[in-house]
Structure 1
Amino acid sequence: MLSDMMKRAAAAAVEQRHRDTAGNNERELRTTDERESGNPPRASEMTTNDM
């Protein structure tokens, strides 16, 4: 029973990590495109390096 819960928790953590990675990649691509086009990145997507 406990091992089933641990397996589900591990699977959920891996799934969340994949979602986070996909979101970061998409955000990175978008900000790169915006920088190349001369438009500043959106404030919600700025990192501390952009500020």
Structure 2
Amino acid sequence: MPLEALERIRDQLHVMATTVVPNFCDMAAGLQGQVQELLDGYRLEQPETMP
């Protein structure tokens, strides 16, 4: 998995956890989509290692 993408998501989650984010739901949905894209891409590259 691309480490840089995971680090960006981690940093965004940190901001969400430590500040008041007015568009929390939209931001969370966007992050969920980014994580799903990473998982889907990884599954395509490594089909034998993930269910």
State TM-score, norm by structure 1.
0.50
In 2, Cα distance between equivalents of 1:8 and 1:24: 24
Q: What is the Cα-based RMSD across aligned positions, in Å?
A: 1.9
Percentage of matched positions with identical amino acids: 13
Bigger Rg over Cα: 1
In 1, Cα distance between equivalents of 2:50 and 2:26: 35
Work out whether 1:5 is the aligned partner of 2:27.
no
In 2, Cα distance between equivalents of 1:25 and 1:17: 12
State TM-score, norm by structure 2.
0.50
> Structure with the greater relative contact order (CA < 8 A, sep ≥ 6): 1 or 2?
2
In the alignment, structure 1 segments of 5+ residues that lack a partner are 32-44
- Count how many residue pairs are aligned between Structure 1 and Structure 2: 30
In the alignment, structure 2 segments of 5+ residues that lack a partner are 1-21
In 1, Cα distance between equivalents of 2:25 and 2:44: 28
In 1, Cα distance between equivalents of 2:42 and 2:36: 10
